[in-house]
Amino acid sequence: MGSSFLMSFQMGIMKFNILIIIVIIHVFIPIQKATILISLNKEFLISHGNVHHLTPFINWINDDGNWCLEKKETLLDPSLFPQTSKFQLQLLWGAQTQRSLQNFDIGGERERMPEPIVRAFGTLKKCAAKVNMEYGLDPSIGKAIMHSNWTVALKVIANRAAEILGHKRGGKFVHPNDHVNRSQSSNDTFPTVMHIAAAMEIHSRVFFTFKGVPLAYSVEFKDICKIGRTHTQDATPLTLGQEFSDYTTQVKYGWPSIFSVLTNCFFFEQLAQGGTAVGTGLNTKKGFDVKIAAAVAEDTGLPFVTAGNKFEALAAHDAFVEASGALNTIAASLMKIANDIRLLGSH
């Protein structure tokens, strides 16, 4: 008798739990989807708790989370919700990005992500679209993505590509995952973009900026005689050209380390792209990794190749340690040269 009562009680508990799950699925989740954005601004809730303020905000979001760009008349009064504006309704990113911008306003606009990383992502997405067209991606969508690469973020590229093809933003005619992010994972794209950005910055900002500068002055000043100094005291004569030859040699000795960072096959030229989530290459086509590395090399003019071991390429970043050491050596040399010239001016 007792066991049957216990069994009936347990069955009742199970039915109650199932009922709770059904209520959550059919009642709570839709309400949560409608109200989640309100929680982004606590000041709004405290100052304007009236439920009537919720209605235009609900209409502002589609079921799939994209901005309702065509419903501009439902925009909240900016004085009530200062984070949102009519301008934001005209932007290309989706609701999740906007939520992040409002929830994580950290470091200011200029420090959220370095511009070289942003540009490198645009390059990578352009090259991925080019290669994916060889593996079945609709050419019209692929070309639209390539023409949108300057807009960079996945949803932004998708919405801009859709506009190029004559479709509305938010409709996902060009899908951020199925099309823009095809055959890619954040686990291989970000290491790849880090390599692209670092190599391009070193190549454009460092490699050609300092090459040969001290050499010109060592020749130009070869006939100017001066007194050399030891321990800041006058010593024996030498030419200013000889003094600058010291600087030339310093930079010359530091230069191979910078050059090796760009050209050594174990450093920046090896790209992780094609390893996808964990390095196995799951969900990519055979040869995708080789082709996308070649496409990036062609687009940037730098000798990128696919990494021989994707597991290492995803998990380790020794190239940046090597680059940091090389740049630190050059920086120390330049600082010493600058201090010498400053001291020379005090004579």
Asked if residue 117 is part of any domain, the answer here is yes
Q: Are residue 100 and residue 155 in the same domain, yes or no? A: yes
Chunked into runs of 10 residues, the chain (347 residues) has average pLDDT values of 51 51 44 34 32 31 37 37 49 65 71 81 88 87 71 55 62 63 85 92 78 73 90 89 88 80 71 92 91 94 92 90 86 89 80
Domain count, the chain: 3
Pairing relationship of beta strands 305-306 and 270-271 according to DSSP bridges:
parallel
This prediction has a pTM of 0.65
Task: Give me the CATH number covering residue 129.
Answer: 1.10.275.10
- Domain assignment present for residue 65? The answer is no
Which of 121, 113, 289, 109 is CA-nearest to residue 197? 121
Q: Give the pLDDT confidence score for residue 327 in this predicted structure.
A: 86
Contact criterion met (CB below 8 Å) for 154 and 180: yes
CATH number, domain containing residue 325: 1.20.200.10
Whether 339 is covered by a domain: the verdict is yes
Range(s) of the domain holding residue 143: 86-182
Residue 4's pLDDT is: 55
Q: Is the same domain home to 195 and 341? A: yes
Q: Are residues 155 and 121 in the same domain?
A: yes
**Counting Cβ atoms within 10 Å, is residue 244 exposed (0-12), middle (13-18) or buried (19+)?**
buried
| One domain, residues 109 and 216 | no
In this structure, are 54 and 116 located in the same domain? no
| Alpha helices per DSSP H over 264-306 | 288-300
Q: Which of 123, 156, 182 marks a domain boundary?
A: 182
> Does 328 share its domain with 284?
yes
pLDDT number for residue 97: 67
Reported residue count of the chain is 347
Asked if 170 and 314 sit in the same domain, the reply is no
- Would residue 113 count as lying in a domain? yes
In a domain, 227, yes or no: yes
Q: Could you tell me where the DSSP H helices lie in 135-227?
A: 139-147, 154-164, 186-201, 213-220
Task: Please tell me the distance from the alpha carbon of residue 145 to that of residue 141, in angstroms, as a whole number.
Answer: 6
Residues 160 and 250 both lie in one domain: no
Residue 208 placed within a domain = yes
Do 193 and 337 fall into the same domain? yes
**How far apart (Å, rounded) are the C-alpha atoms in residues 327 and 251?**
11
**Whether residues 224 and 311 fall in one domain:** yes
In a domain, 81, yes or no: no
Same domain, yes or no, for 200 and 341?
Answer: yes
- Is residue 73 a part of any domain in this protein? no
201 and 141 co-located in one domain = no
Could you tell me where the DSSP H helices lie in 51-138?
A: 54-59, 95-103, 115-134
Question: Which pLDDT score, from 0 to 100, does residue 283 have?
Answer: 87
